């Protein structure tokens, strides 16, 4: 027990080190180098590829030398979100984390416990000299948050294990055995601009909860970009304006918690008053779900501005008002499971086009294909271009899984109750590995985390400790 307690403390030391390394999706070279150095410092063999994936191999301890390896897996990248006034540069700065009671949080940014805590736990196992375990194949993948790119590019022939423990779940009481597949869907439509004279007014919606577009899609959280479209369409009825630009969200797989529009009007006072009245009515409607939602309107300079033509403005508002968004179907087989959904995660205005980027999810491949067809028709009939990328298949439930039984038994012995066996409406790399490795027996576990993909993200320290110690028990029993 002393050995486990010692290694548990190491988990949080590694997590602190990982927080100091910039590792947003698409910016994973530094964290790859950190992992390779870690392997060298601990005398372990490491493999790295062009996608910055890292595999670290550790032999089994005494008595486990001839046991087949167990794969421990987590992803290196994180979703980078920050408060508007945060000075952090995610390309070169690490996360400033701090402890608040039983929680680790970040200062004005996402924490990256999704999935830094998994990497930390695995490193503690790899660095241990005392924990009993089979040979370990530690797989650290990249760019999971933008389409599981690293996992899809990994040459899995470098792996011999057929049992895999993924540590990318976010509820300690849940044993995850199935997940949704998904894709990234981008709509681009051209816009015309015209020179308009008037006063620029900045309209900003903020304070919404946001959240993970998979695990939080059923919580009734309001999409800031969709809400902005609703308000602007209502505002158009009472106050004339043109739109210079509109933007909301920065990640396709995060529910936008803010949206900002730059408008032009020849009646500044009337526009601001009407906008506040429109928002007041909507705020009463959504106040229980979004108690901190607020609007800010600021009059700026007067002059000539290149604004969207009236036709382009009206097309944009039509798209925002009629776009599919949120839950489209619930499972008829698993009570309470969202089966199919989509999230308008990014809304961007360029010089001559507007981009709407979605994250699509479904636990059934046919339903995902239908949702892609539905969006394609929605876009084509509105004269838009479409692009689908990052598609990955669902991870289907395996009925007779020795690893599920082993983990459930260890959990029950520790906590006196069974874990919840669950399928989730979010993507896990288990789906990719299950397709690439024949007869893979896979589970996903993890500690309690809250508000991931948002600036309010937090990690329960006590929960992380319990899950790590449970992981050590499971490894000891993998013979």
SS3 133: coil
- The residue ranking higher by pLDDT, 429 or 365, is 429
Taking 60 as the threshold, does the pLDDT of residue 1 lie above it?
no
Q: What is the mean pLDDT of the chain?
A: 95
Phi-psi category of 301—alpha, beta or left, where left has phi over 0 and alpha has psi -120 to 50? beta
Tokens matching residue 251: 């990640």
* 259 band by pLDDT with thresholds 50, 70 and 90: very high
In this predicted structure, what is the pLDDT of residue 4?
A: 60
SS3 state at 384? coil
Q: Report how far residue 328's alpha carbon sits from residue 341's, in angstroms, rounded to the nearest whole number.
A: 5
Is 256 a residue whose pLDDT tops 60?
yes
| Model pLDDT, residue 3 | 53
Between 399 and 68, where is the model more confident? 68
- Per-residue model confidence as pLDDT tens digits over 415-464: 999 999 888 888 899 999 999 999 999 999 999 999 998 999 999 999 99
pLDDT at 392 over 90: no
Mean pLDDT on 348-353: 96
Query: If DSSP states are collapsed to H, E and C, what string results for 171-238?
Result: CCCEEEEEECEEEEEEEEEECCEEEEEEEEEEEEEECCCCEECCCCCCCCCCCHHHHHHHHHHHHCCC
Positions annotated as catalytic residues are: 77, 144
CA atoms of 14 and 119, how far apart (whole Å):
8
Q: Are 319 and 233 in contact (CB under 8 A)?
A: no
pLDDT tens digit sequence for 36-61: 999 999 999 999 999 999 999 999 99
Amino acid 2: pLDDT: 46
Q: Is the pTM of this model over 0.85?
A: no
Whole-angstrom distance, CA of residue 16 vs CA of residue 106: 11
In the predicted model, is pLDDT for residue 287 greater than 90?
yes
Domains and CATH numbers, the chain: 2-180+394-477 (3.40.630.10), 184-392 (3.30.70.360)
* Mean pLDDT of the 269-287 span: 96
Q: Is residue 66 predicted with pLDDT exceeding 80? A: yes
Q: Is residue 188's pLDDT more than 60?
A: yes
pLDDT mean over 67-74: 98
Burial of 84 (0-12, 13-18, 19+ CB in 10 A): exposed
pLDDT for 400 equals 87
How far CA 439 is from CA of 161, 164, 309, in Å, comes to: 10, 11, 57
361, two tokens: 């999810």
CA 214, CA 168: separation in Å to the nearest integer?
Answer: 13
**What pLDDT score was predicted for residue 399?**
78
Is the pLDDT at 255 greater than 50, yes or no? Answer: yes
Least confidently predicted of 201-215, 324-338, 363-377: 324-338
């Amino acid at each position: 027990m002393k050995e486990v307690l010692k290694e548990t403390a190491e988990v949080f030391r590694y997590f602190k080190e990982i927080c100091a390394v910039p590792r947003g999706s698409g910016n994973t070279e530094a964290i790859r180098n950190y992992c390779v150095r870690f392997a060298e410092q601990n005398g372990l063999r490491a493999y790295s590829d062009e996608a910055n994936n890292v595999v670290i191999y550790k032999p089994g301890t005494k008595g486990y030398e001839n046991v087949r390896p167990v794969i421990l897996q987590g992803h290196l990248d994180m979703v980078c979100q920050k408060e508007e006034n945060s000075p952090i540069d995610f390309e070169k700065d690490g996360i400033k984390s701090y402890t608040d009671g039983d929680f680790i949080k970040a200062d004005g940014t996402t924490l990256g416990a999704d999935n830094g805590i998994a990497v930390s736990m695995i490193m503690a196992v790899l660095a241990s000299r005392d924990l009993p375990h089979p040979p370990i194949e530690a797989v650290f993948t990249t760019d999971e948050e933008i389409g599981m790119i690293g996992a899809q590019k990994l040459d899995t022939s470098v792996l011999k294990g057929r049992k895999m423990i993924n540590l990318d779940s976010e509820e300690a009481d849940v044993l995850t055995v199935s997940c949704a597949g998904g894709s990234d869907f981008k709509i681009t439509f051209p816009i015309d601009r015209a020179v308009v004279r008037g006063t620029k007014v900045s309209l900003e919606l903020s304070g919404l909860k946001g959240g993970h577009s998979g695990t939080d899609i059923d919580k009734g959280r309001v999409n800031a970009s969709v809400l902005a479209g609703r308000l602007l369409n209502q505002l158009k009825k009472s106050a004339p304006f043109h739109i210079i630009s509109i933007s909301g969200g920065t990640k396709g797989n995060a529910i936008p918690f803010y949206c900002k529009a730059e408008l032009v009007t020849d009646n500044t006072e009337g526009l601001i008053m009407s906008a506040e009245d429109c928002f007041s009515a909507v705020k009463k409607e959504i106040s229980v779900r979004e108690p901190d939602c607020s609007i800010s309107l600021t009059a700026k300079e007067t002059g000539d501005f290149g604004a969207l033509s009236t036709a382009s403005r009206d097309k944009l508002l039509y798209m925002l008002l009629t776009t599919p968004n949120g839950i489209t179907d619930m499972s008829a087989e698993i009570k309470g499971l969202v089966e199919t959904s989509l999230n308008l995660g990014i809304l961007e205005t360029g010089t001559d086009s507007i981009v709407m980027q979605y994250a699509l999810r479904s636990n059934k491949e046919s339903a995902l294909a239908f949702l892609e067809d539905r969006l394609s028709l929605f876009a084509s009939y509105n004269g838009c271009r479409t692009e689908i990328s990052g598609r990955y298949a669902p991870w289907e439930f395996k009925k007779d899984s020795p690893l599920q039984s082993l983990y459930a038994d260890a959990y029950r012995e520790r906590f006196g109750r069974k874990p919840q066996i669950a399928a989730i409406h979010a993507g896990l790399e288990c789906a990719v590995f299950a397709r690439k490795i024949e007869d893979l027996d896979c589970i996903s576990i993890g500690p309690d985390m809250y508000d991931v993909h948002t600036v309010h993200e937090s990690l329960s320290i006590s929960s992380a400790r319990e899950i790590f110690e449970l992981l050590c028990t499971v490894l000891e029993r993998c013979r």
